[in-house]
Amino acid sequence: MTAPASLTALKGIIFDLDGVLVDTAQFHFRAWKRLAGELGIPFTAHDNEALKGVSRRDSLEHILALGKVSLTEEEKNGRMAQKNAWYLELVNELPPDDMLPGAKSLLDELRTCGVRIGLGSSSRNAELILQKLNISGYFDGVVDGNKISKSKPDPEVFTLCALHYLHTQPSDTIVVEDARSGVEAARAGGFFCVGIGHLPQADMVIASLEQINATLLDQALQAYRSV
Ligand code: B16
Ligand code: MG
């Protein structure tokens, strides 16, 4: 068996959930599109980019603003509950081992190397999805939409996770994100941010988790901190 890589800079890592570890971002899109359709609001994949990483309420407000539709508080709560029910129906179909490519092996490697692992998600369904995927045991700390008062792009979700749960500093912790709001949150909190997909604002951009490993992340963080 190969010895675990010896890391010098990397002490903690915080993963976003939807779109990073599991492909639930497409479920959010499908549920919001269905809701927008019922309200007569055209809603495209391009419009959806602005919703990634954003809380349920802020997402609804964004869609209503797109269509210049106004609802009462009670109607908004009803619409959010409906969207969540549709979303959970889709999540229910998720097979238990359906993580995004490279996610499981990266978690295994980071664990073996002694890196503290956190989850930083805006979703109120995060714990449920971790349980469904049977991966709760990997995480030293889970901060989700139920534990924060300000959603991404505010850094609260990542700062709370690192300082309170992982006991690491932003300077020795990496955030992995798939959304512009998440990259902004990570950078505002002083974290080195790995972005998945078209995210030029990130400190390192990859197409998939298959492209990285513990050593590469440690080297990237070292190089970034030594500039
Ligand atoms: P929920 P992440 C975010 O999760 C999603 O990207 C975003 O599309 C969603 O609106 C938000 O969670 C809230 O989710 O309705 O399940 O509470 O990407 O931060 O893991
Ligand atoms: Mg995401």
Indicate which residues carry an active-site annotation.
16, 18
Determine the angle formed by the axes of helices 56-67 and 73-92, rounding to 10 degrees.
110
Query: How big is the chain, counted in residues?
Result: 227
The distance between the two most distant Cα atoms of the chain, rounded to a whole number of Å, is 61
Determine the straight-line distance between the first and last CA of the chain, rounded to whole angstroms.
35
Q: Is residue 81 part of a domain?
A: yes
Query: Of the candidates 90, 42, 50, which has an alpha carbon nearest to the alpha carbon of residue 69?
Result: 42
For residue 58, give the ligand 1 atom closest to its CA: 10
Do 62 and 141 sit in the same domain of this protein? no
pLDDT tens per residue across span 72-122: 999 999 999 999 999 999 999 888 888 999 999 999 999 999 999 999 999
Query: Is 186 a pocket residue for ligand 1 (Cβ < 6 Å)?
Result: no
The Cα-based distances of 168 to 87, 116, 147, 164, 212 in angstroms read 33, 8, 19, 8, 21
Cβ neighbours of residue 49 under 8 Å, at least 6 residues apart? 179, 180
Closest residue by Cα to atom 3, ligand 1, is 53
| CATH number of the domain where residue 61 is located | 1.10.150.240
pLDDT of residue 18: 93
Phi (first) and psi of residue 135, to 5 degrees: -125, 10
Phi/psi-derived region of residue 226, left when phi > 0, alpha when psi is between -120 and 50, beta in every other case: alpha
Q: In a 3-state reduction of DSSP, which class is residue 204?
A: strand
Query: Is 124 a pocket residue for ligand 1 (Cβ < 6 Å)?
Result: yes
Domain finish residue from 91, 115, 133: 91
| Ligand lying nearest the CA atom of residue 20 | 2
pLDDT of residue 1: 55
Query: Is 53 a pocket residue for ligand 1 (Cβ < 6 Å)?
Result: yes
Domain range for residue 71?
25-91
Query: Is 18 a pocket residue for ligand 1 (Cβ < 6 Å)?
Result: yes
H/E stretch holding 26 reads helix 25-38
pLDDT of residue 227: 73
Domain finish residue from 91, 110, 141: 91
| CATH number of the domain where residue 159 is located | 3.40.50.1000
Query: Is 153 a pocket residue for ligand 1 (Cβ < 6 Å)?
Result: no
Query: Of the candidates 15, 6, 13, which has an alpha carbon nearest to the alpha carbon of residue 168?
Result: 13
> Which of 14, 17, 18, 133 is the best mutation target for the ligand 1 pocket, counting ligand atoms within 8 Å of the beta carbon and taking the most?
18
Do 82 and 115 sit in the same domain of this protein? no
Do 16 and 34 sit in the same domain of this protein? no
pLDDT tens per residue across span 28-66: 999 999 999 999 999 999 999 999 999 999 999 999 999
pLDDT tens per residue across span 178-209: 999 999 999 999 999 999 999 999 999 999 99
Do 58 and 106 sit in the same domain of this protein? no
Domain finish residue from 64, 91, 118: 91
For residue 124, give the ligand 1 atom closest to its CA: 17
pTM of the model: 0.94
- Asked if residues 204 and 195 have their Cβ atoms less than 8 Å apart, the reply is yes
Pairing mode of beta strands 173-177, 141-143: unpaired
